[in-house]
Amino acid sequence: MTLLIARLLLAGVFLVAGAAKLRDRDGSQRAVVEFGLPSALAAPLGLLLPLAELAVAATLIPTSTAWWGAVGALALLGLFVGGIGINLARGRQPDCHCFGQLHSAPAGWKTLGRNAVFAAVAVFILWAGFDGAGSSAVAWLGALSSAQLAVLVGGLMVLCLIATQWWFLLHLLRQNGRLLGRLEALESSLEVGGAVPSQNGAAEAPPHAAGLPVGSQAPDLSLRSLHGETLTLDSLRAAGKQVMLLFTDPNCGPCNALLPEVGRWQAEHSEKLTVALISRGEVEENRTKAQEHALQNILLQEDWEVSERYQVGGTPSAVLVGPEGKVNSSVASGPDAIRGLVAPLLRPQAPIPVTKKVGEVAPEVKLPDLEGNTIKLEDFRGEETLILFWNPGCGFCQRMLPDLKELEENPPEGTPKLLVVSAGPEEANREMGLASAVVLDQQFAVGRAFGASATPSGVLVDAKGKVASEVAVGAQEVLELAEASRSLGP
């Protein structure tokens, strides 16, 4: 009887776990990646793992296959315990996703202990031997009296009812959470404008909101990026755009669910908004997330020091900082609130008019270089010049850097002179190791004068000091502009 109960208990656990994982395949695949396995294995393992759990559940019930079912259960539990133990030893607590959407929490010592208990039950079944797996479930049911069978069926119905109530309660709470998130996002967007709706519909001063007061000076920050350079708030807002500081953690499930969208925001809307991720944890685990979602501008805080300065209480959370360095929003907490915060900024806008058209005299450039000497665009008269608008803290610029150095070292005949107009700290610009002239324009004033709105971008100026091309935006476009310039006449 004891062995039968052990088999049914273990079979029930694997049945629920496998079915829940199959119902939430996306979550199962994210869990595979979060545990440190290659993303290429996420899709196959996200399917094979729940199927293996269901197979174990099915083989544990009949006495003829129960011993092999216990072997499979012990093997799977050994893998789970090993994976959790390795991550805990590295200081990581990924979301276990053990029971799909029914129950998912960061893997910790409690999770490790629970799997160890289940492993002990499997060992107990194996210890009984191949032919000693206990009574048959069918034979046991057949031996029950009518009263006992009625009690059993009634008990199972009560358990099913309780489980159904918990399931509905869980989904109701999640739905309420999403509604509250959308409400917070709406209030955040109203607060940016300085008012929130009152009970009678009239606008009134906003109540106390999370984070620093809107309009106050944003605290400075100085953090190391994944590339090793130190970035400050001044360098992030040097392009003259709003900066969204997104506070995240590599072991935060909702953060990881939001990261694909963050990658798209950075790739598709860099001309409107600078998104910087303020993260914690080890460089390697953050680098894995960056590579998986093509993320840029990931800065690492030691603990919660920057979060505390901005009065951020959890992850994921976000706050907007304007080009002038003022706080432009209260703290948006949760994925839905963050989406609501960023949505108005990403709406299509009319293109920025080019201040200087092709054929007109180029705007004046008079900026200090890395040695403190003043460099003028007039100094380049007599030669065609490619002005490159740059920021060492821009991930797209970092990707372009090897090609740019190759162009400097082996310039084809007719390649224009290069003048790099850069934002960011002097030391970060010096570490790039460019041989061309690099001048500092922290306010991105020269870029705006030429009509540039993002980095990297570039424009050609001919030997007479006139604009010779439209502004090219993006690494490939800038390199193609340098290539095309060789065919242009004087």
Average pLDDT, stretch 6-11?
A: 83
Nearest-CA neighbor of 341 among 180, 176, 177, 181? 181
pLDDT score at 420: 94
- 3-state SS, one letter per residue, for 357-372: CCCCECCCCEEEECCC
What's the confidence (pLDDT) of residue 486? 53
Judge whether residue 45 has pLDDT over 50. Answer: yes
Domains 222-346 and 366-487 fall in the same CATH topology: yes
Amino acid occupying residue 371: E
Report the chain's C-alpha Rg in angstroms. Answer: 30
Residue 172 banded pLDDT, cuts 50, 70, 90:
low
Give the neighbor-by-neighbor strand order of the sheet with 242-247. 230-232, 222-225, 298-300, 273-279, 242-247, 317-321, 332-333
More confident: 238 or 31: 238
pLDDT, one tens digit per residue, over 380-410 is 988 899 999 988 877 678 888 888 898 888 8
Residues 472-489: what's their mean pLDDT? 74
pLDDT of residue 321: 93
Percent of the chain with pLDDT over 70: 79
**Residue 249 CB coordination number (10 Å):** 20
User: Between 374 and 175, where is the model more confident?
Assistant: 374
- Lowest mean pLDDT across 73-87, 132-146, 281-295, 324-338: 132-146
Tens of pLDDT, residues 120-159: 988 888 888 777 666 665 565 556 677 766 776 777 677 7
Task: Pick the range with the lowest mean pLDDT from 25-39, 266-280, 407-421.
Answer: 25-39
> With b meaning 16 or more CB within 10 Å and e meaning fewer, what string describes 272-308?
bbbbbbbbbbeeebbebbbebbebbbbbbbeeeebbe
- Domain chopping of the chain, boundaries: 2-143, 222-346, 366-487
Alpha-carbon distance of 127 to 120, in angstroms, equals 10
Return the closest-CA partner of residue 423 out of 208, 231, 246.
Answer: 231
Residue 217 in 3-state DSSP? strand
Query: In this structure, which amino acid lies at residue 401?
Result: L
- 3-class secondary structure, 466: strand
Give the mean model confidence (pLDDT) for residues 30-50.
Answer: 78
Q: Region 176-191: what's the mean pLDDT?
A: 48
Q: Check whether 180 has a pLDDT greater than 60.
A: no
Q: What value does the mean pLDDT take over residues 290-310? A: 89
Q: Give residue 416's Cα distance to chain centre.
A: 39
- Between CA 102 and CA 110, with CA 107 as vertex, the angle to 5 degrees is 90
Question: What CATH number matches the domain at 366-487, 3.30.70.3270, 3.40.30.10, 3.40.50.2300, 3.40.50.10190?
Answer: 3.40.30.10
By 3-state DSSP, what share of the chain in percent is helix, strand and coil, each rounded to 5? 50, 15, 35
| pLDDT bucket at 466, cuts 50 / 70 / 90 | very high
The residue written with tokens 């088999």 in the block is 7
- The more confidently predicted of residues 215 and 279 is 279
Top-confidence residue, 99 or 460: 460
Does an H or E element contain 387, and which?
strand 385-390
**Could you tell me which residues are beta bridge partners of residue 337?**
none
Q: Which sign, positive or negative, has the C-alpha torsion 197, 203, 209, 215?
A: positive
Between 155-164, 233-242, 273-282, 310-319, the lowest mean confidence (pLDDT) is in: 155-164
Q: Model confidence over 431-453: pLDDT tens digits?
A: 888 999 999 987 778 888 888 87
The per-residue pLDDT for 133 is 64
Closest CA to 270 of 474, 479, 477, 478: 474
Q: For residues 247 and 313, what is the distance between their CA atoms, to the nearest angstrom?
A: 10
* Distance separating alpha carbons of residues 92 and 68, to the nearest angstrom: 33
CATH class of 222-346: alpha beta
What long-range pairs does 79-82 form, CB within 8 A, spacing at least 24?
80/115, 81/112, 81/115, 81/116, 81/119
Say yes or no to pLDDT of 272 above 50: yes
Say how many CA atoms lie within 13 Å of 340 toward its Cβ: 25
pLDDT at position 185: 44
pLDDT at 236 over 60: yes
Q: Can you tell me the distance from the alpha carbon of 255 to that of 273, in angstroms, rounded to the nearest whole number?
A: 19
Residue 206 pLDDT > 70: no
Specify the 3-state DSSP secondary structure of 195.
coil
pLDDT at 193: 38
Predicted pLDDT of residue 418? 92
Question: 66, 5 in Cβ contact below 8 A?
Answer: no
- Asked if 423 and 391 count as a contact pair (C-beta separation under 8 A), the reply is yes
Task: For the chain, give the number of residues.
Answer: 490
Using 50, 70 and 90 to split pLDDT, how confident is the model at 171? Answer: low
**Tokens 């709003």 found at:** 242
pLDDT value for 27: 67
pLDDT at residue 203, as a whole number? 36
Check pLDDT > 60 for residue 490: no
Note whether 329 and 192 are within 8 A (CB): yes
- pLDDT score of 79 more than 70: yes
Give dist(CA 84, CA 402) in Å, integer: 39
Q: Read off the pLDDT of each residue in 479-483 and give the average, rounded to a whole number.
A: 83
Task: Please give the residue that has the higher pLDDT: either 23 or 71.
Answer: 71
